A and B are shown apart, each in its own frame.
Chain A
Amino acid sequence: MKNILNNHSSTSKKMSNINKKTADALNSIAGIVPAMPAPFLLTRLHAAMHRISENDATVWSKIALFLKRPAVAFTILLVLICVNIFVLNSNGFLSSKKNVVSKVNSNGYDIAINVTSIYDTENQEP
C-alpha cells in the first residue's frame, strides 16, 4: 500500500515538473530581443542584384561576358596565333632563306632558257 502511494506521489511530482518545464519553455521567448542580420546588407543586396542582372542578360551580352573572361580571351588569342603560324608555314613563308633563293634561281633559269637571243634568230635551222 505504501509502495503504491509512493509511486503515485512520484508520478504526480514528475507530471507537475513536466507541466512546469512545458510552461517555462512556452514562456522562454517572452521579451526576446530581435536578432540583427550581418552588417552591410544593402551592399550585399546590390551585389546580388548585379549578379542576377548579369544572369538575366541577353544572348549577345552573355556571349560578350563569356569572351571577356581572361582564360577564354587568352585561349582564343593562342588559337589565332597557331592558325596564323600554320597558314604561313603551309604557304612556305616561313621556310629558310636558302630555299627561297634557290627557288628564285630555278625560276630564273626556267625563264632564261626560254629567252630568244639575236644569235638564235639569225641562225635558224632550216
Chain B
Amino acid sequence: MSLQTDTIPASAQQNNFANIVNSRQQMVYNTALSIVQNEADAEDITQEVFIKVYEKLAEFRGDAALDTWLYRIAVTTAFDFLKQQKAQKRGGFLKRVFGMATENDVPHFDHPGVALDKKEDARVLFMAISKLPDNQRAAFVLNRIEGLPNKEIATILDITLAAAESLQIRAKNNLRTVLKTYYEKHFK
C-alpha cells in the first residue's frame, strides 16, 4: 500500500489515519499481546504504536508495505516496553549484574484466541516463548501467531531471509528444550 501523505490535506490525512487504525488495530494489538503477554500492556503498546504512526505518517513514503512498517514499529515498541519494564523492577539492575535474576517459569498468560481444550498447553508454550531471546521470539510470534512468511519476517526484522529461517529453527529448538525441562519437572 503506497501512501503519499505529504501532499494530502490535514482532514484527508485524519481520515487516512482513522482507516489505518480501524483496519490494523487487531494486527498491532495481537503482535504486542503475543510479545508482552499482558492485555493491559498490549493496549498501551497499541496506542503508542499508532501515535508513532500518526507522527511519522507524513514521512512514510511507501518504500515498504504499510503492514511491514506497522509490524516493525509494533515489534520495536513491544521490546522497548519489556526492556523498560525490566529496568524499572526494583533491584533489577543489581540482580542482573550479580546473576541473581530468577527465571519465571510459572505459566500465567492465557491468550484469548486459543481454543478452550488447548488453553493449558498454550499457557506453557507462552511461558516458554517468554524465555526466548528477543529476535527469536519476534520471529516465532510473527510466523506462528501472525502467520507471516519468512521473507516478510526478514523485511520486518531487517535481516536476510537465511537469518530469518535460522531464527525460526533456533526458536523451535529452544522452545522444545524449555518445554521438555518444564514437563520433566512438572509432569508425572
- Specify which chain B residues have a CB less than 8 angstroms from the CB of A34 in the assembled complex: 26-27, 30, 113
A48 and B52 CA atoms in complex are apart in Å by 12
Across the interface, do A45 and B51 meet the contact criterion of CB distance under 8 Å? yes
Closest to B184 in A: A18
- Specify which chain A residues have a CB less than 8 angstroms from the CB of B51 in the assembled complex: 45, 48-49, 52
Assign chain A's interface to a size class: 20 to 34
| Interface Cβ pair total, 8 Å cutoff | 91
Q: Does A35 contact B (CB under 8 A)?
A: yes
Closest to B33 in A: A35
Q: Does B43 contact A (CB under 8 A)?
A: yes
> B residues near A, CB below 8 A?
18, 21-22, 25-27, 29-30, 33, 39, 42-43, 46-47, 50-51, 54, 111-115, 118, 121-122, 124-125, 128, 144-145, 172, 175-176, 179-180, 183-184, 187
- Specify which chain A residues have a CB less than 8 angstroms from the CB of B29 in the assembled complex: 35-37
A36 and B25 CA atoms in complex are apart in Å by 8
Across the interface, do B47 and A29 meet the contact criterion of CB distance under 8 Å? no
Across the interface, do B122 and A25 meet the contact criterion of CB distance under 8 Å? yes
Question: Contacts A18-B183, A21-B121: A29 and B46 contacting too (C-beta < 8 A)?
Answer: no
A107 and B13 CA atoms in complex are apart in Å by 78
Q: Does A63 contact B (CB under 8 A)?
A: no
Closest to A38 in B: B43
- Specify which chain B residues have a CB less than 8 angstroms from the CB of A17 in the assembled complex: 187
- Specify which chain B residues have a CB less than 8 angstroms from the CB of A21 in the assembled complex: 121, 179, 183, 187
Question: Contacts A18-B187, A34-B26, A48-B51: A26 and B175 contacting too (C-beta < 8 A)?
Answer: yes
A13-54 interface code vs B (CB 8 A; 1 in, 0 out): 010011101101111110111111110011011001100100
- Specify which chain B residues have a CB less than 8 angstroms from the CB of A19 in the assembled complex: 180
Nearest-neighbour CB distance to chain A for B11, whole angstroms, equals: 14
A31 and B144 CA atoms in complex are apart in Å by 9
Nearest-neighbour CB distance to chain A for B55, whole angstroms, equals: 9
A18 and B30 CA atoms in complex are apart in Å by 30
Across the interface, do B112 and A28 meet the contact criterion of CB distance under 8 Å? no
Nearest-neighbour CB distance to chain B for A80, whole angstroms, equals: 40
- Specify which chain A residues have a CB less than 8 angstroms from the CB of B180 in the assembled complex: 18-19, 22
Closest to A14 in B: B187
Across the interface, do B115 and A22 meet the contact criterion of CB distance under 8 Å? no
- Selected A-B contacts with CB under 8 Å, 15 pairs: A21-B183, A22-B179, A24-B121, A25-B121, A26-B125, A29-B122, A32-B111, A33-B114, A35-B112, A36-B25, A41-B25, A42-B18, A42-B22, A44-B47, A45-B54
Apart from A21-B121, A49-B51, 17 more pairs, CB < 8 Å: A19-B180, A21-B183, A26-B176, A29-B118, A32-B111, A32-B122, A33-B113, A34-B113, A35-B26, A35-B33, A35-B39, A35-B112, A37-B26, A42-B22, A44-B47, A45-B47, A52-B51
A17 and B18 CA atoms in complex are apart in Å by 50
A81-125 interface code vs B (CB 8 A; 1 in, 0 out): 000000000000000000000000000000000000000000000
